[in-house]
Structure 1
Amino acid sequence: MIDFLFSQYKSYTSYFIFLELTAVFFGTISVLFAKKNNILVYPTGLVSTLIFVYILFEWKLFGDFIINIYYSIMSVVGWYLWSRKKNGVAEFPISFMNRSDYFISSIIFLGTLLFIALIYHFFDKFTHWTAYVDTLTTALFFVGMWLMAKRKIENWIIWIIADLISVPLYFYKGLTFSSIQFLVFTIIAILGYKEWKKLLQKQI
């Protein structure tokens, strides 16, 4: 079982393994902070995404590479939005999506699908089924990160769907630690949705 899960790491350098484990650690800590509605979700997440930018560029996984560039940018944006207060109260509290949010989410999703498809086509990387799945998860993650920055409770539903797809995808890609991370993320996302729902009920 151990050999089945981690045999591919025999050919990886210790430096690469250390980087992936560090990124996974900070990514997991970040999601736990998100579950608690704690602004530290962003600085810890930024460490993880910047490391993954390097790893995924080296592996030429362009969809995931672009995801993490976007994550890094949105971590700064989300950090700013979550820190804003009006009369001592958070300017962007937890809330449900409205019509405008659904419209913008749809635009982000479709726009991302088209953009990533063009990137894969340009680099002639539509040669395997993983490229198509990668395009889908990229679009979902783009929407999820935007909704989290806006503190919309539905962000957790997007994360659950995208994380579940990413578990087998990353294992197939040979990134077992990252695959396990997405499994943990799925569980935390389910708990996060429940916790944010309770916090939202207290706000009303």
Structure 2
Amino acid sequence: MDSGVIIEIIGAIAGLLYVYLEIVQKRSMWIVGGISALIYVTVFLDSGLYAASILQVCFLLMSIYGWILWGKSGEESDSEKVKRLGRKKMIFSILASTLLYVIVTFFLVNYSSDPMPYVDSLIAVLSLLATYWVTGKHAENWIVWIINNAIAIYLYASQGLYPTVLLYTAYLIAALIGYRHWRKIAGYLH
């Protein structure tokens, strides 16, 4: 088996562990997510998916931020973790994400050999938006992950990254489960 595929599989396993820890709201998810991000920087660089690779660096930074932010609330308790996303935060972050999408897409189209710059950029920006909402413990993050993961499956399949396709299929299923679980904890479901 090719060493690149082995590295990709290890990254996928770390990614699966991360999403499980996210669903059950364990602070250790940020460490595992950081490890997965480090691995996937190389996987995506080798595939020419530059926005996806840069996204992994952002995930690493967000892992540090999430670790710090989640540590401020003390002991992990489901009921105090999940919050509703406020209208202002939602509007601001969606507008900022739209602007970021335009900027990233411009650079990928004009200055890279990215095979699918529009889709790669969309996945990168949606992932950043969802991760930002995760750091605030907002259940709505899962909606963005559901959309993002469906698009990512298409992109990674088109690039022959099959262990990553399996990972994002699992992410899609986990996002559906996570959304229901977090909404239930927050009292959205009765």
Whether TM-score is above 0.5 comes out as yes
- Does structure 1 residue 97 correspond to structure 2 residue 97? no
Does the aligned pair in 2 maintain the 1:37–1:196 contact within 8 Å? no
Find the aligned partners of 2:125 and 2:64 in 1 and give their Cα distance: 20
**Backbone CA RMSD of aligned residues:** 2.0
Which of 124, 129, 138 in structure 2 is aligned with 1:138?
124
Aligned to 1:167: 153
Aligned to 2:163: 177
SS at match of 1:139: helix
Deviations 1:130-178 (A, max 9, x none): 2211121111111001000111110000000000111121011110010
- Does structure 1 residue 157 correspond to structure 2 residue 143? yes
SS at match of 1:60: coil
**Matched AA of 1:145:** T
**Matched AA of 1:167:** I
Find the aligned partners of 2:10 and 2:68 in 1 and give their Cα distance: 25
Deviates more, 1:99-108 or 1:13-22: 99-108
Find the aligned partners of 2:93 and 2:35 in 1 and give their Cα distance: 26
Aligned to 1:3: none
Which of 66, 73, 79 in structure 1 is aligned with 2:54?
66
Q: How far apart are 1:117 and its partner, in Å?
A: 1.3
Consecutive unaligned residues of structure 1, counting only runs of 5 or more, are 1-12
Find the aligned partners of 1:137 and 1:59 in 2 and give their Cα distance: 15
Find the aligned partners of 1:19 and 1:184 in 2 and give their Cα distance: 18
Q: How far apart are 1:120 and its partner, in Å?
A: 0.7
Q: How far apart are 1:77 and its partner, in Å?
A: 0.4
Which of 146, 149, 172 in structure 2 is aligned with 1:186?
172
Deviates more, 1:74-83 or 1:109-118: 109-118
Which of 78, 85, 98 in structure 2 is aligned with 1:110?
98
Aligned to 1:4: none
Find the aligned partners of 1:104 and 1:29 in 2 and give their Cα distance: 31
- Does structure 1 residue 201 correspond to structure 2 residue 151? no
Find the aligned partners of 2:138 and 2:16 in 1 and give their Cα distance: 20
Does the aligned pair in 1 maintain the 2:26–2:76 contact within 8 Å? no
Q: How far apart are 1:124 and its partner, in Å?
A: 4.3
The runs of at least 4 consecutive aligned structure 1 residues that moved more than 2 Å come to none
**Matched AA of 2:183:** K
- Does structure 1 residue 82 correspond to structure 2 residue 67? no
Deviations 1:81-102 (A, max 9, x none): 111127x687x72111112211
Does the aligned pair in 2 maintain the 1:33–1:40 contact within 8 Å? yes
Which of 115, 123, 141 in structure 1 is aligned with 2:111?
123
Deviations 1:5-33 (A, max 9, x none): xxxxxxxx622111100100000000000
Does the aligned pair in 2 maintain the 1:167–1:179 contact within 8 Å? yes
Aligned to 2:12: 24
**Matched AA of 2:4:** F
Does the aligned pair in 2 maintain the 1:108–1:142 contact within 8 Å? no
Q: How far apart are 1:180 and its partner, in Å?
A: 0.9
**Matched AA of 1:14:** D
Identical aligned residues as a percent: 22
Q: Larger radius of gyration, structure 1 or 2?
A: 1
